[in-house]
Structure 1
């Protein structure tokens, strides 16, 4: 700690310049100066009681690779533990500061190879406080004058070697968009080990085998890839399309999810690979035109429109599965269709036929060839009259997401099933793992909380989500109506940085379940609407007048909230309008384990 303070500040400034291509502002330099002085005093006092502390490692402004410049203030390696210090000059102690400190520790524990086997402990240091030793949600909150006393409590053992720790690999799980960019730019996926261990690579290999055999034997094949939410189905489809385009034949990735198509095409700058499913079917399924691609991959195959919906929408009396089979029949010599199938994703009229619609398609008059089916065992019985080959590698049963994300999906399922006590038990584990489920009735505080949480993290993505069928949220400035949301440019919403027009991070433009399905944000501000309310014993939906026939409207509403509540990677804030009719819903969410958001814990002075 004897390095001159000015040299430390200069080194930190150069580090910041290399990360963000800008020099530190005066306020940042002042903050560094204060932090260094606090550490010097704290370790001077600590060294008297614990001389071995002189061998501990201290890292200032450690960059979390691939995280857009995220930097915990200080990391200290003590015997068998890693401490993360986050300093705040604000006289308030915001709940957002607590979440930020916890997130740094959580991500190091999860993604840093040299931190996996050690306890990572987050500390929040309000620099204006005195005589403070407290804790909140797994974060220790201490004042500068208590640093020496608190650190002296750790056992006297051999410390972690700081050079070994610095040489560790930090490999965060990329978002779908980040992963797609890496695939199309021939970059190594940082999470490839996790992806391969959970079967993504095996699924791609099996699809390549099926495609090659289809071409060699001049067959028409239909393969299905299934998986739990977050298992990597879309990633499999994109990799297969990209790798097949230079090997087997021309290929294309189709999705009926318009926002996903727009965001992918903008991010990849590769419009030829990704197309809108409905327009592709309209172009080639209802005309004599023949596409150039022999390999056609379509996302969310279970959501393909049925014949009734196609008749109303496009005056075409064939289902989308049947029209895709017709397209496959027109291709010369051979065709390889691949459907990616999720679970519980049907959110719109005409999407309720599911996998059965594909069996109807290959047994219709449109299917003149003998289509061979390749599927996981779970769908074998759906094709009783077909040539079916079971390929278990096409069933992605594990989520690529973290365990907390898997638990979150289960929590949402239990919540929407009305199993509140079961959801509560899951919530305890989710929150303990570092994923916060906040609840608030104050929208302005929710917005400010998120801005504070991510104020120094430009790569983070957050935004407001709301149900398309609610009618009261516009009273609170949440414009979720059709006319408002149809003008949203999703490529801007998901890709533009904070402050630029249309960015989700501005917390102004709202997307609904139709604009976020298949996509993620780091933190979603989910505005709960009046279309699905808890009555004290079960969920009730507001009566709707859908434009198209719905067989189970309540299931579609629940699935819409399933989508909205599972878009977050880091944490989630649920806003309930401050109206009496939402009180029972608040009670249900709190009983299920959500916690009231604490905008400010206490004054730090």
Structure 2
């Protein structure tokens, strides 16, 4: 069930007439958690303060307590709407000083409402941090805002709160009054597009997909369809494989996480598996930190010792794992059917032994098209495990693990396209052929889109014709990565396909998604700093082959700790927000930031007539070597596709000037960079 929008609301006039006990009673009844003495005391202090502050504004607005922000998994302490202006107040009654963390928190609330709540699009929002015990001399009352009418947070104590509100109402006015009433504003549609980290945390806190994502979209339909398939397999003792497809950023990973976490919260067994090491590590760490944070609060209320970080991580790893760890866990139970292989350590016929049957009945494989070919898995097993002639591809082996279940099981394949960046990837074909070869009794669910696409041939589909069960809702058509524009991925695809006119036309539709171009890295960094607010994340990105960016201070060979890069705030020098460390396509795929600087090197350059890309990698530190293999060219294009689609809110592209000194640096010829810059400019990307 979706969480209530707020615990208490009233017109200012009626709020002032009610007793404190009556209001606290309403708040207590509405709370979804046990209310302790500390919470009650805070509510009383907030109510008393707001009664004093709102006295002059009877008949001019409304007030709301504990207003829900589902994407963040938190509630705003108080929202006051006066003359249509939305005051977002965060109280820190137990603190004695303003803190950066609290400032970011209240700013995030206001930004979230502006970006994702329909009624806030035309509103002015004023975030205010209230620390009752803070000194008056430390209060900050300057009015500053960005173009979207979200002001920087004011910082006040209770004595200066009334002064702050009066100042705002005297200085800030609507050119055109909002068309919605306060109640219509408060109940207006909420359509967030969380980052995958935010989504995972919100789901783990037992929010629903409906709470934290756009309503009525592809994700809702696909999630419901997947639940039906799980229930059908369980009820009928069926084994099946289900393919969920979608455009980049459509939310496939979110569906996978939601399913794994939802099953976990119900006491069922499901596991989300990914070969994307950075994604798994970042998600595990983020969820672990969140669990520790929440358990500390619960432990304090319950009078017990809080769990350790190691204990929390163990819980998280129960439903989010690296696919390689899962694969190795069940290696000893591998059965080799009809294969003439000399028995060696690692192969056992006792695969039905309970020790070798997966504990989960649902295994969700993210980026399933990246599972390894038979040749690649053989190489890995030989070099890393000492096992020769391993008989399976990764798809067939992973299906075999679930096939050990004695009753039912479901393999869910989340399938992306146009994103291959590594060798040895088997693609979708191997999953289909594996089912045909070895698992004729399994059901196969997929969307009509996949049936009609070029990812599977008609001949391959005919192999599983009797097993195939089409389900239209298993394909996600709409990207949700950028809430400012859903056409960013289309633009990037056209840009990289050298479809100049089409890219230029699409770019004109990206009004709310700024893209800029510059030759100056420092200017690009300043642009990011000027745009990032609250806890919004910005960062530097570059291709793994962009080795001559070292000349301008970007060393792609040094790869920082990506967990710190994604999770720390800008008080930590390891954070992406400090704009000191750069990540490549291998560390950011599947993850995202708000504002990106993509720095373009001569590894991907253009022919003079812009008719084709030229692909290079640096060799021996003295010259670029041409890349000739078509598959490696594809990897390189996809690397830039990944980099150019990481930003949710906007990006700046840096193309260096190259080196025109005497003698020149032969690895940084200006004409290479000029060609890239001129092409990007010709598409219509604005210069800083």
Question: TM-score over 0.5 for the alignment?
Answer: yes
Equivalent residue in structure 1 for 2:200, among 180, 191, 209: 180
Distance 1:526 1:345 in 2: 17
SS in 1 for 2:317: coil
Equivalent residue in structure 2 for 1:505, among 571, 577, 586: 577
Pairs within 5 Å for 1:227-376 = 227-245=246-264, 249-269=268-288, 270-285=316-331, 287=346, 288=348, 289-315=356-382, 316=390, 318-351=392-425, 353-364=426-437, 367=438, 370-376=441-447
Contact 1:350–1:550 at 8 Å: present in 2 too? Answer: no
Distance 2:550 2:213 in 1: 45
SS in 1 for 2:444: strand
Contact 1:230–1:401 at 8 Å: present in 2 too? Answer: yes
Contact 2:73–2:205 at 8 Å: present in 1 too? Answer: no
User: Measured at CA, do residues 448 and 259 of structure 1 come closer, stay the same or move farther in structure 2, by a change above 3 Å?
Assistant: same
Equivalent residue in structure 1 for 2:514, among 428, 436, 458: 436
Counterpart of 2:641 in structure 1 is 562
* Count, aligned residues: 495
Instruction: Give the TM-score of the pair, scaled to structure 2.
Output: 0.63
SS in 2 for 1:197: coil
SS in 2 for 1:552: helix
| Mapped pair 1:112 → 2:117 | yes
Deviation at 1:404, TM superposition (A): 4.3
Deviation at 1:327, TM superposition (A): 1.3
Deviates more, 1:177-186 or 1:331-340: 331-340
Deviation at 1:252, TM superposition (A): 0.7
Deviation at 1:268, TM superposition (A): 1.6
Q: Deviations over 1:278-315 (max 9, x none)?
A: 23223324645443222110001112121222233333
| Mapped pair 1:412 → 2:492 | yes
Deviation at 1:206, TM superposition (A): 2.3
Deviation at 1:64, TM superposition (A): 11
Deviation at 1:448, TM superposition (A): 2.6
Distance 1:445 1:551 in 2: 36
Distance 2:562 2:634 in 1: 26
Distance 1:520 1:409 in 2: 13
Deviation at 1:550, TM superposition (A): 6.2
| Mapped pair 1:463 → 2:539 | yes
Higher relative contact order (CA 8 A, sep 6+): 1
Contact 1:502–1:509 at 8 Å: present in 2 too? Answer: yes
| Mapped pair 1:584 → 2:666 | no
Distance 2:500 2:575 in 1: 35
Distance 1:377 1:408 in 2: 25
Q: Deviations over 1:239-273 (max 9, x none)?
A: 11122335584211100111000011111221211
Contact 2:446–2:471 at 8 Å: present in 1 too? Answer: yes
Distance 1:359 1:158 in 2: 55
Deviates more, 1:517-526 or 1:397-406: 397-406
Equivalent residue in structure 2 for 1:472, among 548, 555, 558: 548
Q: Deviations over 1:449-506 (max 9, x none)?
A: 322333x52x11111111112221122221211xx22xx3322111111122521111
SS in 1 for 2:281: helix
Counterpart of 1:33 in structure 2 is none
User: Measured at CA, do residues 550 and 104 of structure 1 come closer, stay the same or move farther in structure 2, by a change above 3 Å?
Assistant: farther
Q: Deviations over 1:204-251 (max 9, x none)?
A: 232233223333433321111111122211111111112233558421
Pairs within 5 Å for 1:134-173 = 165=185, 172-173=192-193
Distance 2:174 2:265 in 1: 60
Q: Deviations over 1:127-158 (max 9, x none)?
A: 99xxxxxxx9999xxxxxxxxxx999957x89
Q: Deviations over 1:23-57 (max 9, x none)?
A: xxxxxxxxxxxxxxxxxxxxxxxxxxxxxxxx999
User: Measured at CA, do residues 215 and 479 of structure 1 come closer, stay the same or move farther in structure 2, by a change above 3 Å?
Assistant: same
Distance 1:331 1:189 in 2: 29
Unaligned runs of 5+ in 1: 1-17, 22-54, 83-102, 129-135, 140-149, 598-605
Distance 2:173 2:369 in 1: 59
User: Measured at CA, do residues 550 and 405 of structure 1 come closer, stay the same or move farther in structure 2, by a change above 3 Å?
Assistant: farther
Instruction: Give the TM-score of the pair, scaled to structure 1.
Output: 0.71
Contact 2:195–2:481 at 8 Å: present in 1 too? Answer: no
Deviation at 1:200, TM superposition (A): 2.1
| Mapped pair 1:379 → 2:453 | no
User: Measured at CA, do residues 191 and 522 of structure 1 come closer, stay the same or move farther in structure 2, by a change above 3 Å?
Assistant: farther
SS in 1 for 2:262: helix
Contact 1:310–1:317 at 8 Å: present in 2 too? Answer: no
Counterpart of 2:479 in structure 1 is 399
Contact 2:604–2:616 at 8 Å: present in 1 too? Answer: yes
Counterpart of 2:228 in structure 1 is 209
| Mapped pair 1:593 → 2:664 | no
Contact 2:517–2:687 at 8 Å: present in 1 too? Answer: yes
